[in-house]
Structure 1
Amino acid sequence: MAAVKTVSTTPFSGQKPGTSGLRKKVKVFAQPHYLENFVQAVFDSIGDVAGKTLVLGGDGRYHNRTAIQTILKMAAANGFARVMVGRGGILSTPAASAVIRKYKTFGGIILSASHNPGGPLEDFGIKYNIPAGGPAPEAITEAIHARTEVIGAYRIVEAADVDLDTLGTRSLGGMEVQVFDPVADYAELMESLFDFAAIRAAFASGLRMKFDAMHAVTGPYATEILERRLGAPAGTVMNGVPLEDFGHGHPDPNLVHAHDLVEALTGEGAPDFGAASDGDGDRNMILGRDFYVTPSDSLAVLAANATLCPGYRNGLKGIARSMPTSAAPDRVAAKLGIPAWETPTGWKFFGTLLDAGLATFCGEESFGTGSDHVREKDGLWAVLAWLNVLAVRKQSVADIVTAHWTEYGRNVYSRHDYEGIDAAAAEGLMEHLRGLPLKGRKLGAYTVAFNDDFAYTDPVDGSVSKKQGIRVVFEDGSRIVFRLSGTGTEGATLRVYIERFEPDPTRHHIDPQTALADLIAIARDLAEIEARTGRQEPTVIT
């Protein structure tokens, strides 16, 4: 049996997990003891791990394999009985959640920086998911952070690296390492939720689609499910081979970074349906021919059509959305007579609602959609849900969304991202907004009903989360939301969300940037964006 070595160490500052774990540049994680300190802090903070099983995998980005070998040796030294690791170190975030839940493991460690770029000079990330399959709640992440600030040693076995590419079980320092197929359990779960026969028939009848895996983790999942199990033609999956640097791309499924897909879905003769997923497989973008579906509308449309999918034939218990997501899903919930929950951004806030049976579908403005089948957002789940709806309704994406707007009205919506701005300037901008007394003020043609810094009290566990985004809500229901993203590794990203309800079907097809132009101008002036950040225009508009 390999010897357990105790290594003396000193704390690193800044090892505080954000909404999706700890994210830093690869060169930071590659420092001696940096990853080890954080992993030991996790193991020290989650309870007695002796004899337990851990799930381990990541999105295949640079440093993934190296980190996995370190974590395996540390898991053995800390007393885990078994670690289930995805073949090749590959495991999408939703698939990890599914495996944790199916095999009732003691949670899992997921290695990913989600939609951030990968490569030797780019980003890496790590997070712990709890036994329910979801991201660690704040009580655990705070305990992990506290431990990182005082850690003095970590434990690791001295042993050769483990073969990650051959399925099967092997021993490491007395611990069992099970290398498993990362796709099989997830694909089986999807088949239990959706009408694969109807989707197969739709492809056989000529439905054409393109799925852009962006050289990220969902390539193997999409190829197996879409092309092999559902019969989509070979080549349906674009950029399907996971690469350590995502093919020099930015694995964020939006209109800017998934430009190859957008181009493929443009013009006469384009496919009927297009979709993309991100680095770790939890986000999605949905397109029709010459038609973009916002994440807010996607959640609303899927909720309104949920009973077309076998896994949701009995209806939904509730719909939850992050605060910056548009109110479109709320309108569906009202018609269905079910609760509509508004939470801070971060999938962990949906976890207590899902576990308590208070919600079934959830969605975030940042291209995340999912349900109670796992405790993470799930990009391929959303794609398959759309395919199920398309197969049953036999209409185009545009026709389905347009019909939805006619029934419910349209929440015209856009997100403007200012990426990589000075962090101090970003904080100053938010402080400026917090101090503005706006109630009753006239801004252009709009009168402010209220403004606040969104705070959330969890209805299940009573936990309180403050400073979750500045809301400026007008008397007609229009909104401007300002929020700093917690997913970047360099500088700060300011996200500005603009929304206006349009009940008139004759105005539903107006371009959002045109329809929202006056509110966009108000947002820029109110926050003094150009003066405070030096940016005249957003980096990304979606």
Structure 2
Amino acid sequence: MDLPKLLTLYYEERPDPEDPLLRVAFGTSGHRGTSLKGTFTEAHVLAIAQAIADLRASFGATGPLFLAKDTHALSQPAWATALSVFAANGIEVLVEPEEGYTPTPLVSLAILEHNAHHSAKADGVLLTPSHNPPEDGGFKYNPPTGGPADTRVTKAIEARANALLKEGLKGVKRLPLKEAKGRAKAFDYAGLYVARIKEAVDLEAIRASGLRIGVDPLGGASLRVWERLAEAYRLNLEVVNPILDPTFRFMPPDHDGKIRMDCSSPYAMAGLLALKDRYDLAIGNDPDADRHGIVTPRGLMNPNHYLAAALHHLFTTRAWPGAKVGKTAVTSALLDRVAAALGREVYETPVGFKYFVAGLLEGWLGFGGEESAGASFLRLDGRPFSTDKDGILLGLLAAEMAAKEGKAPDEVYEALAQGLGRPYYARKDLPISPEAKAKLARLSPEDVGEKELAGEPIRAVLTRAPGNGEPLGGLKVVTENAWFAARPSGTEDVAKVYAESFRGEEHLEAVLQAALALVAKVLA
């Protein structure tokens, strides 16, 4: 990565507001892009920050704003840009001491803790593209609910930000950075998180077990948090990679040769996997720590397998009366089977953690999890802990599981698979045109005429999620022992096709091929 070029273009590129590819666009986790393509620049950040300043009161936020960043190269200048705008708009901004780095879940917790005790509600902004490559930047907004903003909020921010871009940023207020920093207040995000984490996970059981834990922050913002957790709770925990480098040059390439800090990828986690025999359990996080990767002496766990094990452990060790299990439509159906065995109702949603926020906040969801290795859950007493994905929390839960059950998480999964059925899961990206993407998003159950899928009767064809009735943005076909789902990507001209079978690898392949054929047919 050409770091000087990346930073220069952040300030120098002027996106054309008439070009749809260069406008502000919020996906499932905010606006992302890179200055190398003119999709993430100072102009974008100025417009988004001013849009939030203009609209936040309408979202219920009239108190302070928690401002954070991760370790990506573009996060630092974007953080400074956003701070200069928020300060100019008279907003009280709370920042990490000494301009340090802050994981996403720490912002969520900070918002919830503030709002539990103050009438003027807080919100938060995170400058992070999550696990994306080093040249990417990202801008996430969390309203007073503490979790990812819903579509109503993001559409309003998009519209206002793009209007500001079109006006040449004339409506943007801004202070010199030195003055803006002078107005910001330091806030110890990690201190709050370390103090409260024992209310969600049994840290004493982990400490008493003497469990040998290795942690790789993958060059991300969780580094100092893990160090402080180990010190505060006297855990037998070693951070195996303390390097912070915005180029992430220490990272092994992912499956496609790109650098990507994806803690669910065995390629990206190769460094930690090489050390797995030194530890009873190892944990990886992406740069903003909203994802988790769980490594046992037998290797990196499949995210779906770990979610099933986590779900079983949580609902057999916590009371949470009446609390439901949250899962997205493309997360393993093993979670449905575990929930049924435990007598818990499943709340199935479209892709996007934003759909779990209200349930976690109000306590009627005990757990919410996504197949992409993102999850969170309630405190031991049923109060919300973080309403955003929390990779640190899920890593510590794996340690609690090992400490209290005497079995590694993959052993817990293995017992579930033997008792409830072993899932075989696959995903394939199918290149399609923008027109086909739009058609896929508009499909109805009537568009599927088939009565069988890979030899089994089709039980349901869904275009809306069973849990909340929201559009799936595609469709899902379900049989007794298998399912597939197809939906358009939010960022690329591809259809994402997911498939799962409980009848083995051959049946999975048959399901996947039938799914691809059906998608090709309805999009023809």
TM range (shorter): 0.7 to 0.9
For the structure 1 residues 40 and 328, does the alpha-carbon distance in structure 2 shift closer, same or farther, using more than 3 Å as the test? same
Task: State the partner residue of 1:187.
Answer: 194
For the structure 1 residues 171 and 258, does the alpha-carbon distance in structure 2 shift closer, same or farther, using more than 3 Å as the test? closer
Task: State the partner residue of 1:40.
Answer: 50
Task: State the partner residue of 2:380.
Answer: none
Write out per-residue CA displacement over residues 361-380 of structure 1, whole angstroms, 9 at most, x where no aligned residue: 11011111111311101111
More strand per residue: 1
Write out per-residue CA displacement over residues 172-217 of structure 1, whole angstroms, 9 at most, x where no aligned residue: 3xxx3122333211122212222222111222xxx33332211122
Q: Residues 242-257 of structure 1: matches in 2 within 5 Å?
A: 242-247=244-249, 249-254=259-264, 255-257=266-268
Shift of 1:322: 0.6
For the structure 1 residues 188 and 484, does the alpha-carbon distance in structure 2 shift closer, same or farther, using more than 3 Å as the test? farther
| Matched position secondary structure for 1:360 | strand
Amino acid at match of 2:496: R
CA distance in structure 2 between the partners assigned to 1:411 and 1:471 by the alignment: 20
| Matched position secondary structure for 1:149 | helix
Q: Find 2:171's aligned residue among 148, 151, 154.
A: 154
For the structure 1 residues 443 and 126, does the alpha-carbon distance in structure 2 shift closer, same or farther, using more than 3 Å as the test? same
Q: TM-score, normalised by structure 1?
A: 0.79
For the structure 1 residues 303 and 494, does the alpha-carbon distance in structure 2 shift closer, same or farther, using more than 3 Å as the test? same
CA distance in structure 2 between the partners assigned to 1:82 and 1:32 by the alignment: 19
1:520 and 2:512 aligned: yes
1:330 and 2:364 aligned: no
Q: Find 1:304's aligned residue among 303, 307, 312.
A: 312
Q: Residues 135-534 of structure 1: matches in 2 within 5 Å?
A: 135-151=148-164, 152=167, 153-161=170-178, 172=182, 176-203=183-210, 207-226=211-230, 229-233=233-237, 236-247=238-249, 249-254=259-264, 255-265=266-276, 269=277, 271-306=279-314, 312-314=318-320, 317-371=323-377, 372-407=384-419, 409-418=420-429, 424=434, 427=437, 430=440, 437-455=447-465, 458=468, 465-474=470-479, 476-486=480-490, 488=491, 491-492=492-493, 494-501=495-502, 513=505, 516-528=508-520
Conserved 8 A contact 1:24-1:125: yes
Conserved 8 A contact 2:218-2:261: yes
Write out per-residue CA displacement over residues 336-371 of structure 1, whole angstroms, 9 at most, x where no aligned residue: 333210011111111122233321111011111111
Task: State the partner residue of 2:7.
Answer: none
For the structure 1 residues 496 and 29, does the alpha-carbon distance in structure 2 shift closer, same or farther, using more than 3 Å as the test? closer
| Matched position secondary structure for 1:42 | helix
Stretches of structure 1 lacking an aligned partner (at least 5 in a row): 1-8, 163-169, 459-463, 503-511, 533-542
For the structure 1 residues 427 and 418, does the alpha-carbon distance in structure 2 shift closer, same or farther, using more than 3 Å as the test? same
Amino acid at match of 1:498: A
Amino acid at match of 1:45: L
1:116 and 2:111 aligned: no
Shift of 1:99: 0.9
Conserved 8 A contact 1:308-1:388: no
For the structure 1 residues 133 and 479, does the alpha-carbon distance in structure 2 shift closer, same or farther, using more than 3 Å as the test? same
1:65 and 2:60 aligned: no
Write out per-residue CA displacement over residues 267-319 of structure 1, whole angstroms, 9 at most, x where no aligned residue: xx45332322112111112232225433333223222222676xx45566111
Conserved 8 A contact 2:34-2:137: yes
The number of residue pairs the alignment matches comes to: 480
Q: TM-score, normalised by structure 2?
A: 0.82
For the structure 1 residues 445 and 226, does the alpha-carbon distance in structure 2 shift closer, same or farther, using more than 3 Å as the test? farther
CA distance in structure 1 between the partners assigned to 2:97 and 2:473 by the alignment: 35
Write out per-residue CA displacement over residues 472-505 of structure 1, whole angstroms, 9 at most, x where no aligned residue: 222x23101123343x5xx345433221235xxx
For the structure 1 residues 51 and 302, does the alpha-carbon distance in structure 2 shift closer, same or farther, using more than 3 Å as the test? closer
Amino acid at match of 1:24: G
Conserved 8 A contact 1:412-1:515: no
Shift of 1:40: 1.0
